[in-house]
Structure 1
Amino acid sequence: MEENPSVDPKSGHLLISEPFLQDENFVRSVVLLCENNENGAFGLVLNKLSILKLGELIDELNFLDCEVYVGGPVEQNTLHYIYYGEQLLEGSIKLGDQLWWGGNFEQLVSKLKLSEIDLGKIRFFIGYSGWSEGQLKSEIDEKTWIVSDSTYTNYILNSSPEELWRVILKNMGGEYQVLANYPIDPRLN
């Protein structure tokens, strides 16, 4: 497992915010990088729960009491989703071992209505995190983000939003294990 690769991180990598990052959008956040190319980067914050439920956003799914996460501060009027397992939707993009991003929205709604998707293996997001060309690399060089090439899929979908940041750092081992225990405000320690 490679941490903080010297090259730009790739789709499927995780960006883990450094312990003292004060940007309210990214405090103690874990971002799944979905795309990173010459035009910029796109990712989803995995551990910031919104107050909305999926059924409140999509009329056809008003019977679903499924949590929705805040994927980031950009375009919070958009819905994104990732899922684990075999490819279920046409057009989904593979991010890692059995981890998929997006896909045919009509298929998604249909499969959800027919209970053909395990809600424990899918996560929904409003908005996303975006970086302009070179911005993410600059932030990584400034040590704003810890990069991991492992998606820790089992932790992504099975850890509480409050614990995900710590769980992933602990499992990265070494110096990262120590960072996992840093208090949010060291003055209060």
Structure 2
Amino acid sequence: MLNNIKPKTGRLLISEPFMADPNFKRSVILLTEHSDVGSVGYILNQFGNLLLKDVVKDLWEAGNQIYFGGPVGVDTIHFIHRSFDKMQSGEEIGNGIYWGGNFETLKILINSNAIEEDEVKFFIGYSGWDEGQLVKEIEENAWMVSDVSHPDIIFGSDDEKLWRDVIVNLSPKYAHVSNFPTDPSLN
């Protein structure tokens, strides 16, 4: 195992530098659920070409970027937020970050400009693992786990740097990994 931190709801998964699966290349995933029966999470640093107003027609001017959450259920939309005080709904996954909530309330907040874009993040699809699958992948060094899931990291907008920054935050012994080239043949 690359590091000794165990997966848990609210923690981050960081893909190893040369992961072959293009869905997860240099990905940072927020785990929104982790138990003995499986895991669910969302890729935080793969934004798509769609804005929320392109997908939800009654959100007239919602300029929120929609991220690729993962290869499962790509016909579904999901969200996380850090605005329980405004939403009054959602499942807390840690550090003031909430998964889901009342979508109708969220639409009202967006249309009335009562919630900022950096308070909510939207995803098409999700990442999912069956019972024991994620733990096995971690043991095979496909993922590193970080317990640093500060809202400013989760809701930040610098997707290009997120993977590198999260690795550097693991500990000094991982800092060199952040500089590995995307293609190992370029090394």
The TM-score normalised by the length of structure 1 is 0.92
Q: What per-residue deviation string (whole Å, max 9, x for no partner) do you get for residues 143-162 of structure 1?
A: 11000112032222224111
Alignment-derived partner of residue 4 in structure 2:
4
Structure 2 distance, partners of 1:147, 1:124, is 22
Structure 1 distance, partners of 2:149, 2:97, is 9
Deviating more after overlay: 157-166 vs 40-49: 157-166
Q: Which amino acid aligns with 1:70?
A: F
Structure 2 distance, partners of 1:87, 1:10, is 25
* Pair 1:144-2:154 in alignment: no
Q: CA deviation at 1:164?
A: 0.5
Q: 1:79 to 1:87 in 2, by over 3 A?
A: farther
Q: What per-residue deviation string (whole Å, max 9, x for no partner) do you get for residues 48-74 of structure 1?
A: 011111001101103222210000001
Q: CA deviation at 1:85?
A: 4.3
Q: CA deviation at 1:106?
A: 0.9
Contact 2:36 2:131 (C-alpha < 8 Å) held by counterparts:
yes
Alignment-derived partner of residue 49 in structure 2:
51
Contact 1:40 1:131 (C-alpha < 8 Å) held by counterparts:
yes
Q: Which amino acid aligns with 2:4?
A: N
Contact 2:45 2:67 (C-alpha < 8 Å) held by counterparts:
yes
Q: How many residues align?
A: 185
Q: Superposed, which structure 2 residues align to 1:74-113 within 5 Å?
A: 74-113=72-111
Structure 1 distance, partners of 2:155, 2:34, is 22
Structure 2 distance, partners of 1:159, 1:175, is 26
Q: Give the alignment partner of residue 59 of structure 2, picking from 50, 58, 61.
A: 61
Could you tell me which runs of 5 or more consecutive residues in structure 2 were left unpaired when the two chains were aligned: none
Q: What per-residue deviation string (whole Å, max 9, x for no partner) do you get for residues 122-159 of structure 1?
A: 11101000001110011011111000112032222224
Alignment-derived partner of residue 182 in structure 1:
180
The TM-score normalised by the length of structure 2 is 0.93
Q: 1:180 to 1:159 in 2, by over 3 A?
A: farther
Structure 2 distance, partners of 1:175, 1:106, is 45
